[in-house]
């Protein structure tokens, strides 16, 4: 199976260098001179890395097939793919195809909160895209404090969401008379 490890971003300079939107936990292993990538769309590749550098946390590469700014500008938005058969298993890392379709359960009582329908990549951390039973799509920070259990073989993820994160939480709030202000002494 082919998985995205980066998306090609803006051209950088005039000599064919391009910024990458990295989607892998091991960019220093993926983006090396001589690495070849299948692309999506397929017509843009394959692409071979001839130069790599990092600056201020960003990855920049030059491809043999795109030697100038005009050529790399045409590659903007192209995904770089690798074959997962070459990857080793990572017990604390999951691919989007492994997460999509998993049942989402609440840590406290096991009630079903929805289904994972996607994964968004952000610089700070990834976000699970959860479709709740009412159809609402909620972005859940994919961090251990909020997603303590990912059980791919069991077909589920368990959430410990902060109050108000999910629409389903509003249905389970119990409001006492004292918190509503109904009890007035006087």
pLDDT tops 80 at residue 25? no
- Position 87 scores a pLDDT of 47
Q: Is residue 186 part of a domain?
A: no
- Position 63 scores a pLDDT of 92
Domain enclosing residue 40, as ranges: 2-86
- Position 186 scores a pLDDT of 42
Q: Is residue 179 part of a domain?
A: no
72 and 20 assigned to the same domain = yes
Overall domain count for the chain = 2
Confidence label for 1 from pLDDT (cuts 50, 70 and 90): low
Can you give the chain as a three-state secondary structure string?
CEEEEEEEEEEECCCCEEEEEECCCCHHHHCCCCCEEEEECHHHCCEEEEEEEEECCEEEEEECCECCHHHHHCCCCCEEEEEHHHCCCCCCCCCHHHHCCCEEEECCCCCEEEEEEEEECCCCCCEEEEECCCCCEEEEECCCCCCCEEECCCCEEEECCCCCCCHHHHHCCCCCHHHHCCCCCC
Domain of residue 27, CATH code? 2.40.30.60
Q: Is residue 154 part of a domain?
A: yes
Q: Is residue 35 part of a domain?
A: yes
Q: Is residue 93 part of a domain?
A: no
Mean pLDDT, the chain, integer: 81
Which domain-ending residue is among 42, 62, 86? 86
80 and 107 assigned to the same domain = no
30 and 73 assigned to the same domain = yes
Q: Is residue 91 part of a domain?
A: no
- Position 108 scores a pLDDT of 86
- Position 125 scores a pLDDT of 75
Q: Is residue 185 part of a domain?
A: no
């Amino acid at each position: 199976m082919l998985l995205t490890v980066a998306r090609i971003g803006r051209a950088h300079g005039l000599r064919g260098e391009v910024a990458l939107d990295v989607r892998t936990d091991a960019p220093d292993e993926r983006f090396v001179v001589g690495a070849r990538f299948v692309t999506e769309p397929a017509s843009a590749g394959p692409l071979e890395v001839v130069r790599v550098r990092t600056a201020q946390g960003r990855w920049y590469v030059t491809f043999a097939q795109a030697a100038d700014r005009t050529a790399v500008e045409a590659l903007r938005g192209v995904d770089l793919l690798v074959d997962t058969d070459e990857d080793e298993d990572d017990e604390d890392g999951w691919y989007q195809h492994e997460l999509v379709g998993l049942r989402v359960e609440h840590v406290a009582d096991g009630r079903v909160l929805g289904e994972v329908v996607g994964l968004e990549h952000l610089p700070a951390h990834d976000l699970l895209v959860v479709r709740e039973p009412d159809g609402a799509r909620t972005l859940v920070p994919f961090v251990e404090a909020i997603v303590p259990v990912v059980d791919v073989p069991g077909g589920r993820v368990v959430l410990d969401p902060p109050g108000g994160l999910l629409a389903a939480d509003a249905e389970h709030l119990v409001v006492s008379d004292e918190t509503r202000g109904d009890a007035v002494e006087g």
